A and B are shown apart, each in its own frame.
Chain A
């Protein structure tokens, strides 16, 4: 089991990452709290030795995504979510950022995490495939489709 200091450091280091994944995957703040607690409790209790910082980060991403999936599987969560709740989370941001976030969060679920991991975290398609345990070609397809949707919706956004 990890010490309180290790958990505190991990929270400082990965809280933003987990918050963003929660935003991409989940619908409301209460769920985010649950995920935070589950992920860091799992971290505190596991004795896994990470080979590198990247390995640790990938572990957090994987565990967070799995925790989100588990939460979404539950009957009540799957029946009580709406797009409005997702967008509600981005109210505090500036107009430009808010518009982009809204569009990203409005993407079908399978595209959202791919877009986030590719554009924000800077992972390659192969790395994303490894983290999400999906076929690389599926990742490429999802990325292409997500990019197309975003281009259509955001129009003047620069392609990169």
Chain B
């Protein structure tokens, strides 16, 4: 029986047309499958590209300084501040200043907090001696400049009151006319008058009016 059945089934063959049709069908389907797969990948690539673009733009917006604050004290430091009032770069004029700046870990801090920390450290370093503090804001955006200036002034004011600091002088040097002024403890207005001293500005800032 086995041989007869085997012989009978042996004659059953798939014809070439059926094989060709099947191959054609599978090729067509898998080709489309590849296309679908590629389309799926396209979505992933597009999403990834958008994400990268967003991150790049976001980084650029965040990390680009729109304002520079030069802090002049025992250690001269220049802070780069972004449009969100956060410190994004810290520079020092000398290695000592750079070390000092790095030790404060000012990056990504709010600008006023950074100034406060600088002042606090300066005062600690001065340890009872008279400490001098002045700053200079360079910014094209008037609103931001005013806002930061106000923040720093408040900060300086609070700092002086909180610490009853009698040995700290603080002033603002406007860079627009800075070259005509004595940069230390002097505020000059846009008209070029360099006669407003820290003492005269003690209501706005803080400090020992007599020291100026």
Spell out A's residues near B (CB within 8 Å).
1, 4, 7-8, 11-12, 15-16, 18-20, 23, 32-33, 36-37, 40-41, 44-45, 93-94, 96-98, 100-101, 104, 115-116, 119-120, 147, 150-151, 154, 157-160
Contacts and interface: CB of A to CB of B under 8 A. Distances in A.
Contacts of B2: 119, 160
20 contacts: A11-B23, A15-B18, A15-B22, A20-B9, A33-B21, A36-B14, A36-B18, A36-B22, A37-B21, A37-B22, A40-B26, A41-B30, A44-B26, A44-B30, A45-B33, A93-B11, A98-B8, A119-B1, A120-B10, A150-B1
Interface residues of B, number: 26
A141 B207 CA distance: 108
A4 B57 CA distance: 45
B27 interface: yes
Given A1-B33, A33-B22, 19 more contacts: A1-B34, A7-B27, A15-B18, A16-B12, A16-B13, A19-B12, A32-B18, A36-B14, A37-B26, A40-B26, A94-B11, A96-B8, A101-B9, A115-B5, A119-B6, A120-B5, A157-B4, A159-B1, A160-B2
Interface of B: 1-14, 18-19, 21-23, 25-27, 29-30, 33-34
A160 B5 CA distance: 11
B87 to A, nearest CB: 53
Contacts of A37: 21-22, 25-26
Contact of A41 (B8, B10, B29): B29
B5 A100 contact: yes
A4 B28 CA distance: 10
Contacts of B27: 4, 7
Contacts of A19: 12-14, 18
Contacts of A150: 1
A86 B34 CA distance: 38
A96 to B, nearest CB: 8
Contacts of B13: 15-16, 19
A95 to B, nearest CB: 11
